[in-house]
Amino acid sequence: MQRLLLPPLKALMGGPCLRLLGPRAAPRKQCGCSCGIRIPLRPGQYSTISEVALQSGRGTVSLPSKAAERVVGRWLLVCSGTVAGAVILGGVTRLTESGLSMVDWHLIKEMKPPTSQEEWEAEFQKYQQFPEFKILNHDMTLAEFKFIWYMEYSHRMWGRLVGLAYILPAAYFWRKGWLSHNMKGRVLALCGLVCFQGLLGWYMVKSGLEEKPDSHDIPRVSQYRLAAHLGSALVLYCASLWTSLSLLLPQHKLPETRQLLWLRRFAHGTTGLVFLTALSGAFVAGLDAGLVYNSFPKMGESWIPEDLFTFSPILRNVFENPTMVQFDHRILGITSVTAITALYFLSRRIPLPRRTKMAAATLLALAYTQVGLGISTLLMYVPTPLAATHQSGSLALLSVALWLMNELRRIPK
């Protein structure tokens, strides 16, 4: 029996498949003869990847750090694109005065739109109980209501898509071990900001649904809450895009000079100015300040209108006086394009990589395009397509400013 079984078993054990799974034979120490001495392996030492995977109890191997960084960087780049889409869609929703058409909020229930005539009429009757219908849209038909309802519905569904784009891949990458310790903190902050953004959106909408007996103005959301909603979305967008660019763009190697240090600081300040200009647009939209003075460069017949300081105390005018809000937005826009022009010419005096020079040139071209869009929107009394393009341009300008700032940050100090 042993003669029959032992030769086949020895042949099987010597096969390549099982040799991979067995402990590695100790290498022979060369001594100048045909014999050899086996060096014993240290405890836990294995000869193949398969053995490591089996010993750890897992059948998968983590990606190398650089490959994992590229995957995470591309994911965050896609996430920043979804946030940009939400901002643009939210701007169109505001321009079409559709934001108050859905008068309640449910995370799951409202994902199913009305389908029958009875459901649409019930939804329309709910809308009729609130100030916007009573004061502004009292002659609205059901067909017109469906349009503004679907605009707000699209914005809310897109917001849920943004949440899924962040949370589901984050959980997957976390489980796979593709996130570094620092990246885990960033991803947690981004996911938390997404959830906060959704709650802040409903908090903003509620301000437009409240009865205000002492007010004779048309119903609208609070410009403060609108600015907070837009501001948090811009922070989420900038943080996602910045992290993505930091992971995907290769590092430059240039000698540090005083000129380069000043250029870097100036780029930081210019990016902050572009962010502030975009944020001031929320107050313009919230107060319909774009319809106050539709002339340029003067505001009406004067450079400085007389009704800048109508409200008391004076600080209220900065955030509540439509004339002052439009005036501030103009000043911020002119200051931003001036700073970007100076940044471009300053960058030409320093030897920089081709990609960095391209970012500076693109930023300059977008800045003047954005100014042209803003002036055209003002002179044509804020048509929706042009105004939406102007709002989208602010995101594009902010994106390129972040790109340039990231280019300069990547140069080691």
Which residues neighbour 300 within 8 Å (Cβ) at sequence distance 6 or greater?
Answer: 293
Nearest alpha carbon to residue 286 among 100, 134, 36, 85: 100
Q: What pLDDT, on the 0 to 100 scale, is given for residue 34?
A: 40
CA distance 127 to 37: 88
Helix axes 258-286, 65-95, angle to 10 degrees: 30
CA distance 249 to 52: 33
Is residue 373 a contact partner of residue 389, using CB atoms and an 8 Å limit?
yes
226-281 per-position pLDDT tens digit: 999 999 999 999 999 999 999 999 877 777 788 999 999 999 999 999 999 999 99
If you write DSSP's letter for every residue of 354-375 in order, what string do you get?
HHHHHHHHHHHHHHHHHHHHHH
Q: What pLDDT, on the 0 to 100 scale, is given for residue 410?
A: 59
Low-confidence ranges of the chain (pLDDT < 50): 1-61, 411-413
Measure the CA angle with vertex 186, ends 180 and 191; round to 5°: 120
Global pTM value: 0.83
Q: What pLDDT, on the 0 to 100 scale, is given for residue 218?
A: 83
